[in-house]
């Protein structure tokens, strides 16, 4: 059974993964997808790492803290990139990354 902070982090990871995938898709479909290449790459990387962290939280895995630490770092990088762009999907992704980073950082301690 997960405690309250684990449940909150798992939900933040899942929400962030979804926001990152939505952002990446929107960036690829934009008028100038080439200019959004770094955003897309960070979105996809962050989504993968968020899903890994969520999985290990759900399992109570031995590497959960390490995954949460990695997830916080990935979210920080993705947030910084998305925050540079004015599009709504990038701003929503940056917000989801911030929430996930905060939650994962507290889990990694």
Predicted confidence band at 39 (pLDDT cuts at 50, 70, 90)? very high
Distance CA 76, CA 22 (A): 18
Displacement of CA 68 from its chain's centroid (Å): 11
Q: Which two tokens stand for residue 54?
A: 């969520």
Q: Give pLDDT tens digits for 49-80.
A: 999 999 999 999 999 999 999 999 999 999 99
Q: Pick from 87, 82, 91, 92: which is nearest to 43 by CA?
A: 82
Distance CA 49, CA 74 (A): 7
Number of helices (H) and strands (E) in the chain: give both, helices first. 4, 0
- Proportion of the chain above pLDDT 90, given as a percent: 97
Displacement of CA 106 from its chain's centroid (Å): 15
């Amino acid at each position: 059974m997960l405690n309250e902070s684990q449940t909150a982090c798992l939900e933040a990871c899942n929400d962030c993964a979804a926001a990152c995938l939505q952002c990446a898709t929107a960036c690829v479909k934009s008028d100038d997808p080439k200019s959004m290449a770094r955003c897309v790459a960070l979105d996809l990387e962050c989504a993968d790492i968020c899903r890994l962290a969520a999985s290990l939280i759900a399992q109570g895995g031995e590497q959960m803290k390490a995954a949460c630490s990695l997830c916080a770092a990935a979210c920080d990088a993705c947030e910084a990139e998305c925050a540079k762009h004015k599009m709504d999907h990038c701003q929503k992704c940056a917000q989801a990354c911030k929430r996930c980073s905060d939650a994962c950082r507290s889990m990694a301690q």
